[in-house]
Amino acid sequence: MSAIHLQNLVKKFGDFTALKTMDLAIADGEFMALLGPSGCGKSTTMNMIAGMEEPTGGKILFGERDMAGVPMGRRGVGFVFQNYAIFTHMTVRQNLAYGPKMRGAAKAEIDRRVGAIAETLQLSPLLDRKADRLSVNILQRVAIGRSAIMEPAIFLLDEPLSNVDAAFRAVMRTELKQLQRQFRQTMVYVTHDQLEAMTMADRIAVMDHGVLQQVGTPLEVYNDPANVFVARFIGAPGMNLLKGRPAESDRGLVVDLGPLGFTPPLPGELATAMRGARGEVLYGFRPEQATLVQNGQGLAMPVTFVERIGARTIVHLGQGEAAVKTVFDNDVGLAIGDTAVIAPTASSVRVFDAATGLAMKAG
Amino acid sequence: MSAVTVMTSKDEMKAAGAKPVSRDESARLGFRLTLPAQILVLFISAFPLLMQLYISVTDWSPLSGTGWWNAWSMWNSFANYTDLAVDTRFWSALKRTAIVMIVCVPAEFLLGLALATLFADDFPGKRVFYSILLMPMMVVPAVAGYMFFMLFQSGGPVNDILSALTGSPVTIAWLSDPTLALIAVMVADIWQWTPLMFLILLAGLVGVPEDQIKAATLLGANPWQRFVTIVLPKMKTIIIIALAIRVIENFKIFDTLYIMTGGGPGVATETISVYIYKLTTQDLIWGYVAAIALAILIVLSIVAVFAMKRMARAREVAA
């Protein structure tokens, strides 16, 4: 069994709480990304799963088995370090053979397993090369192979792509995803790069300040952020959030954005969810899901900046609290100083309680 | 900061209308600028070496009544070197020096390595112990010699401790027994120079990448396996440096030993340096001394060259 259950997991370093009561269930064979800014507790969580750090409280279960007190060498966990931690004084073969050799496997057995894993990872021609002058994608494969040869049920990867240049990252992402399909292990992948999490993970656990914010598939996290943090963190740029108050109009429930006027009426389900709410709310919509309207109902805002990045154009509107960004697939011909009237796509609008930061949902 | 400096010097060059210098010209300028240093090096290393070589083929002594530059008149057709080959006192001193080295250097290395391993982790009072541990290295060797001279007296603290441990009075005459005197001298050397070994090895130990050690642990290596397969190979270069330093220094062991035993009893603790010292100050046969010193220099140079070659290769591998 290689499912992982984290139950009320807590980690404190002195007075500093790195992780506050985390509950997370990772299914057997699942690719789970732990995503968050630096210092959010994702690496701490990973290190506790690996056994490098002891939890201050709570439980870690692999399947049914409690991992408390099980030393890291006995957890059957493969770990790929941020810089791969390849043994540079050895050859590729010696790196791959390290685990079985330390556990006293017979020479013939080691040779067979190294041969097999090298074949899978296309490392066979490189087996007798010194590991100190390999390119970074080879290093990644050696690091994965060195762990995979132990046939771990669980694979942990600690930001393995953070030292790789942007162009190569796409290649490595594809390779990594293919490897996971091949090995079918449970994978936990720590990253601060949402693109990596979105493209590779089955589910994403978004974390911030030691608190698990939301767990869901990449699209769930993108489309239905549980709170303001996730809304802002996921997406590039993140979700636009404008402060306002719910107000009744003759066309239905709207949000009164103050100087910006009323928003277009909220879709029925959202309006139901907000019934009775009278406090401040945050009106949110994705930068990609707003259209320019000529004379219709919309938010009129001054253009403050235009970024043209080839295929897309990012238009910055408004200032301070009332600033939003919109992304268009083509050059919309707006210049700084123009006034743009935008209308968010109704189905993409989300509303958050300004006091709690939580998404308002029906039911 | 450096960018600013570069800009200023460029500006100055521009202002002075300086033309770019050719390679030959700059090499010549470099030679002229380093000339004083080269002359100095010539005087402190090449000149004494040639002088030594010159004297070593003569019978010259400060009592010859003539300056060393006139030593050619006392040419003895390499008799010093042929004498050296059959000088039993020289060979036994060399053997003794080798024994001291074979015992002391590995002992200092193993103790230093054990201590470095201990100090690589944190433990309460680490800073205090660290300072205490480094102290022997800072004691003037002559003072250390007196210290151990007194410790090993028959009525001294070493015997007192042994008496307390065994419960019966112990009065071993450490420094007058040929074997025990050699042991006492080696104890003093190990006491004084283990800290240096410890310091160098600790520097090497903290330089071993921590994540590689963690990776080895995750792959199931036990502490001993980690030490042998990761830590030691990574420390290879620094171990060679530490051993080379101590081999060369230990070969020249003199001050502590001379104060403790004067090479005695008899010649029981007479090492090469002590022998040379006696020949120089008591027998005054400087031609012969020059020959011995030169022979030893050659042997030590071979050790140093070997160590440096290994180091260069280790660095190549590690890079």
Residue with tokens 């009561």: A21
With bands split at pLDDT 50, 70 and 90, how would you rate the model's confidence at A1? low
- The last residue of one of the domains, among A176, A194, A223, is A223
Residue A197 has pLDDT above 70, yes or no: yes
Distances (CA, A) of A356 to A21, A22, A257, A272, B74: 19, 19, 19, 19, 103
Using alpha carbons only, what angle is made at residue A329 by residues A327 and A330, rounded to the nearest 5 degrees?
A: 110
**Chain A, chain B: beta-carbon pairs less than 8 Å apart:** 63
Is there a single domain that holds both residue A252 and residue A341?
yes
* CATH code, domain carrying A288: 2.40.50.140
Number of domains in chain B: 1
Tell me which residue range forms the domain holding A70.
Answer: 4-86+134-223
Helix (H, G, I), strand (E, B) or coil at A248: strand
Mean pLDDT over A139-157 rounds to 87
Taking only the tens place, the pLDDT of each residue in B295-308 is 888 888 887 888 78
What is the rounded distance in angstroms from the CA atom of residue B189 to the CA atom of residue B141?
Answer: 9
With 70 as the cut, is the pLDDT of residue A311 above it?
yes
Contact (CB<8Å) B318/A89: yes
Inter-residue contact B184 to B260 (CB < 8 Å)? yes
Our CA angle for A148, A153, A158, nearest 5°, is: 65
Between residues A176 and B161, the one the model is more confident about? B161
Q: Which of A29-38, A155-164, A284-293, B97-106 has the lowest mean pLDDT?
A: A155-164
Is residue B144 situated within a structural domain? no
Answer yes or no: is A102 within a domain.
Answer: no
3-state class (DSSP) for residue B216: helix
Among A223, A253, A281, give the residue marking a domain's end: A223
SS3 content of chain A, % helix, strand, coil (to 5): 30, 35, 35
Residues of A in contact with B204 (CB under 8 A): none
Q: Which chain B positions have a beta carbon within 8 Å of A82's beta carbon?
A: 211
For residue B53, being part of any structural domain is answered with: no
Please check the confidence at residue A312 and state whether its pLDDT lies above 90.
no
**Nearest residue on chain A to B314, alpha-carbon basis:** A89
Number of domains composing chain A: 2
Task: Give the model confidence (pLDDT) of B166-202 as tens digits.
Answer: 888 878 888 888 888 999 999 999 999 999 999 999 9
Check A73 against B233: CB less than 8 A apart: no
Arithmetic mean of pLDDT over chain A: 87
Q: Which chain B residues are within 8 Å of A86, Cβ to Cβ?
A: 212
**Is A195 within the bounds of a domain?**
yes
Task: pLDDT tens for chain B, 319 residues: list them.
Answer: 333 334 444 444 444 455 566 778 888 898 899 999 999 988 888 888 888 888 888 888 877 778 777 777 777 888 788 888 888 888 899 899 999 999 999 999 999 999 999 988 888 888 899 999 899 988 998 999 999 999 988 888 888 888 888 888 878 888 888 888 999 999 999 999 999 999 999 999 998 998 899 899 888 888 899 999 999 999 988 998 899 889 888 988 898 899 988 887 888 888 989 998 998 888 888 888 888 888 888 888 887 888 788 777 766 655 4
Q: Do B225 and A102 touch (CB under 8 A)?
A: yes
Kindly provide the ipTM of the predicted complex, given to two decimals: 0.75
Minimum Cα–Cα distance from B211: chain A residue: A85
A157 φ/ψ sector (left φ>0, alpha ψ -120 to 50, else beta): beta
Cα dist from B139 to A203, B188, B232, B256, whole Å: 64, 12, 30, 11
CA B192 to chain centroid, in Å, comes to 12
Q: Do B220 and A83 touch (CB under 8 A)?
A: no
pLDDT of res. B4: 39
Contact B220 A74 (CB under 8 A): yes
Token pair of B12 as six digits: 């100055």
* Minimal C-alpha gap between A147 and chain B (Å): 7
Q: By CB neighbour count within 10 A (0-12 exposed, 13-18 middle, 19+ buried), where does A196 fall?
A: buried
State whether A38 and A150 are in the same domain.
yes
Q: Is there a domain that residue A123 lies in? A: no
Residue where one domain finishes, among candidates A223, A252, A286:
A223
Q: Is residue A76 part of a domain?
A: yes
**Which chain A positions have a beta carbon within 8 Å of B212's beta carbon?**
85-88
Are A173 and A291 contained in the same domain? no
Please report where in the chains the tokens 């036990």 appear, as a residue: B222
* Helix axes B236-251 and B286-318, enclosed angle (nearest 10): 170
Q: What is the pLDDT of residue A217?
A: 94
Residues of A in contact with B229 (CB under 8 A): 87, 98, 102
Mutate to test the interface with A, among B211, B218, B228, B229 (most CBs of A within 10 A): B218
A251 in the same domain as A218: no
* β-pair partners for A80: A157
Mutate to test the interface with B, among A87, A132, A144, A159 (most CBs of B within 10 A): A87
CATH code of the domain covering residue B84: 1.10.3720.10
User: What's the gap in Å between the CA of A175 and the closest CA on chain B?
Assistant: 22
* Shortest CA distance from B228: residue in chain A: A102
The answer to whether residues A69 and A145 belong to one domain is: yes
| pLDDT, tens digit (0-9, with 9 covering 90-100), for B217-237 | 888 888 899 999 999 999 988
* CB–CB contact A52 B233 (8 Å): no
What are residue A166's phi and psi, to 5 degrees? Answer: -55, -40
Q: What is the mean pLDDT of residues A187-214?
A: 91
- Rounded CA gap, B204 and A266, in Å? 66
Measured CA to CA, the distance from residue A315 to residue A308 in angstroms comes to 8
The residue range of the domain holding B288 is: 79-139+173-318
Find the CB nearest B217 among A73, A89, A103: A73
Output the domain CATH number for residue A35: 3.40.50.300
A178 domain-assigned: yes
- With respect to residue A317, please indicate whether it lies within any of the assigned structural domains: yes
Q: In chain A, pLDDT over 70 holds for what percent of residues?
A: 99
- State the best of A98, A139, A155, A162 to mutate against chain B, taking most chain B CBs within 10 Å: A98
Q: Contact A81/B215, CB-based, under 8 Å?
A: yes
Tell me phi and psi for residue A334, to 5 degrees. -95, 145
